[in-house]
């Protein structure tokens, strides 16, 4: 009977553009990043967690109608952090829905046009995504009066059963969301469940509990403490900003990551390894010097490989067409 119920659940999700995380929690994968929808049964309101890449608005609106019609407008948008792949549709949706956007006060400089993030680190290793990260947007956006600060007590407006936990390292004001009564953790990018640095792993959605994406992580000591804090919760279900849901025995890997973070997550020769950027309430205050020559050589090598691959693919297509 349980197997039959599980198959029915899988079929129901497959017929829609979303996946189920836990009671009252659903997700959507926007190319390589996840967006979450959280319902509060005490108020019958719901909240959107992150907004994906630019162009994600239409898909998010479609899912909100499927899940919550006729209450397809959320009470608020909560941002785990302000990196480009999590805020792509935030302006459009906040304006269309006329709702507030909440973030930690240490993220405010990057969401109000006051500061860019520390530069991505193409030398952090792990794969093509890292090497090409110098192309990723790092500049701020300006949400103006739409942006409100999360309460310092840890409670989340619109979600009475949840609390947020400040989990810096990947971003200064990064937060993770936790529902204690059933152990559901929305970790954001404090850690992820794929190897986000590797284009191959991202395309295949390879399942592997990993540290925060290396290319944007600016403070590895803070990131380690954040992972240890989340591991101490012993969550029963984890949903992250990148990758698949993990639950049950698979989550033993979270404690392993917390115990072996330096070996398993921290890049050996990254720009921020041992010398973190410093950020405060006004934004970035210090950024260590980059190894420009090393970055340029790696970038040139990557671009050359991409070019060779495109050329070979073109020749194969011509030969067999």
DSSP assignment string, 49-88: E---STT-HHHHHHHHHHHHTT--S-SEEE-S---TTTST
What CATH number should be reported for the domain whose range is 2-290?
Answer: 3.60.15.10
Residue 307: band (very low, low, confident or very high) from pLDDT cuts 50, 70, 90 = low
Question: Above 50 in pLDDT, residue 6?
Answer: no
* pLDDT average, residue stretch 223-229: 99
pLDDT at 316: 45
pLDDT at 297: 58
Instruction: Give the range among 97-101, 219-223, 253-257, 306-310 with minimum mean pLDDT.
Output: 306-310
> What are the boundaries of each domain within the chain?
2-290
pLDDT at 16: 75
201 and 127 Cβ atoms separated by less than 8 Å: yes
Structure-block tokens of residue 166 = 């400040």
Structure-block tokens of residue 177 = 């969301």
In whole angstroms, give the CA distance from residue 118 to residue 216: 8
Question: Above 70 in pLDDT, residue 91?
Answer: yes
pLDDT at 172: 99
pLDDT at 292: 55
Task: Calculate what percentage of the chain has a pLDDT beyond 90.
Answer: 79
pLDDT at 43: 87
CA atoms within 13 A on the CB side of 27: 23
What's the pTM value of the predicted model, to 2 decimals? 0.87
pLDDT at 308: 55
In the three-class reduction of DSSP (H, G, I as helix; E, B as strand; rest coil), residue 286 is classed as strand
pLDDT at 2: 39
Structure-block tokens of residue 251 = 């989550």
Question: Above 90 in pLDDT, residue 310?
Answer: no
Question: Above 80 in pLDDT, residue 3?
Answer: no
pLDDT at 299: 56
CA atoms within 13 A on the CB side of 137: 13
pLDDT at 10: 38
Angle at 199 between CA 193 and CA 205, to 5 degrees: 40
Contact residues for 289 (Cβ-Cβ < 8 A; gap 6+): none
Per-residue pLDDT tens digits for 259-282: 999 999 999 999 999 999 999 999
pLDDT at 4: 38
Question: Above 60 in pLDDT, residue 246?
Answer: yes
Across the chain, what does the average pLDDT equal? 90
Task: Calculate what percentage of the chain has a pLDDT beyond 70.
Answer: 86
Per-residue pLDDT tens digits for 110-141: 999 999 999 999 999 999 989 999 999 988 99
pLDDT at 298: 58
């Amino acid at each position: 009977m349980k197997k039959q119920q599980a198959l029915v659940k899988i079929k129901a999700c497959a017929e829609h553009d979303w996946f189920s995380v836990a009671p009252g929690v659903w997700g959507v994968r926007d190319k390589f990043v996840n967006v979450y929808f959280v319902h509060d049964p005490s108020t019958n309101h719901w909240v959107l967690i992150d907004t994906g890449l630019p162009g994600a608005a239409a898909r998010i609106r479609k899912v909100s109608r499927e899940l919550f019609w006729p209450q397809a407008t959320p009470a608020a948008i909560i941002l785990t952090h302000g990196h480009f792949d999590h805020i792509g549709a935030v302006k459009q949706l906040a304006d269309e829905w006329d709702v507030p956007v909440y973030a930690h006060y240490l993220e405010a400089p990057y969401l109000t046009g006051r500061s860019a993030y520390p530069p991505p680190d193409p030398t952090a290793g792990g794969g093509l995504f890292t090497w090409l990260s110098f192309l990723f947007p790092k500049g701020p956006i300006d949400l103006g009066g739409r942006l409100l600060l999360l309460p310092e007590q840890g409670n989340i407006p619109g979600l009475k059963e949840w609390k947020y936990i400040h989990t810096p390292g990947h971003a200064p004001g990064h937060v993770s969301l936790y529902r204690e009564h059933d152990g559901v953790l929305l970790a954001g990018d404090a850690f992820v469940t794929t190897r986000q640095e590797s284009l191959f792993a991202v395309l295949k959605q390879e399942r592997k509990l990993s540290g925060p994406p290396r290319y944007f992580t600016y403070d590895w000591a803070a990131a380690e403490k954040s992972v240890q804090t989340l591991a101490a919760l012993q969550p029963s279900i984890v949903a992250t900003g990148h990758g698949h849901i993990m639950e049950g025995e698979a989550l033993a890997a979270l404690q392993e990551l917390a115990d072996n973070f330096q070996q398993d997550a921290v890049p050996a020769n990254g720009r921020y390894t041992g010398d973190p950027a410093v950020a405060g309430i006004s934004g970035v205050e210090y950024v260590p010097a980059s190894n420009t020559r090393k970055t340029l050589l790696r970038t040139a090598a990557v671009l050359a490989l991409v070019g060779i691959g495109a050329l070979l693919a073109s020749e194969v297509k011509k030969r067999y067409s």
